[in-house]
Amino acid sequence: MKYFDFGCTKRKVSVIGLGCMRMDELNPTQVDRVVKTSIDAGINFFDHADIYGDGECEKLFATVLKKDPDLRDNIFIQSKCAIRDGLYDFSRDYILRSVDGILSRLGTDHLDCLLLHRPDALMDLDEVQQAFSRLHEEGKVQSFGVSNMNRFQLELLQSGVSFPIVADQLQMSIAHSPMIDEGINVNTMFNGAVTRSSGTLEYCRLKGIIVQTWSPLQKGFFDGCFLGDPEYEKLNAELNRLADKYNVQADTIAYAWLLRYPARMQVIAGTMNPEHIKSAAKAADITLSREEWYSLYTAAGNELP
């Protein structure tokens, strides 16, 4: 496993994190096995959100912490808030109330990182700053980030808060790569040149912001997994070829493709299958060549101008 410094605390976190969105599908015994398998594989980063299972995922995770209280100091817990029924909410009171709920469900006194979950068009910078300041002063949150924000939203938010925005969680996979496409197709009339993220990847590189990739095996927006999908026959053939070369599974290569991008990349694997967790962890030890990275990119149906 590979690790990098995260946020102001400089905590060492794994480049593969476990996304806990589907944890409510498990029982406490299974959750314990998933967490322990992750740790044994070198994964020390666990990503939650208050809406995952309507809070049930955090409660189940808490059962593991309760059984092994010493575990809390050896792992990094991130959660997210701001998605409400029919709206997004960055208001001071809602952020503060949400974090208190998250901490209560997790059974911990602090989050290592809090992400604001999707952009709130009505964001008031002063209110966000007030919420962040209080959470940090009270020791409830150590670092702050966002999810699904473009570079201008990041810059706007950063202009109003005194805490560095350390991470942006963004959807990205070989079969969902518009942020990469727009860079490769600059100044062309190809569909890939359509600017959907305003150079967000490049901005994150400039500012040292961690890019956390969610749905790393998905095609489209929750349209299903591309592994084994006949629609992606060429991609799967190339994944399998490289999997044989590196003596790993195809999903490992898909994760390694994301890690090869030269930003501060962190893959959030959403699997609850212990064997798939082990497979994901192996991606940290593989560095694809430039030729291999581009062969996967074009096999997914992307054309180079």
Would you please indicate which residues are annotated as catalytic (active-site) residues? 52
Within 8 A by CB and 6+ apart from 303, the residues are 190, 192
- Burial of 232 by CB count in 10 Å (0-12 exposed, 13-18 middle, 19+ buried)? buried
CA-based end-to-end distance of the chain: 35
Element at 228 (helix H, strand E): none
Say how far apart CA 279 and CA 267 lie, in whole Å: 13
Say how far apart CA 234 and CA 243 lie, in whole Å: 14
What are the φ and ψ backbone dihedral angles of 266, each rounded to 5 degrees? -140, 120
List alpha helices for the chain, DSSP H.
Answer: 28-40, 56-67, 92-106, 125-137, 151-160, 178-184, 200-207, 233-246, 250-259, 274-281, 290-299
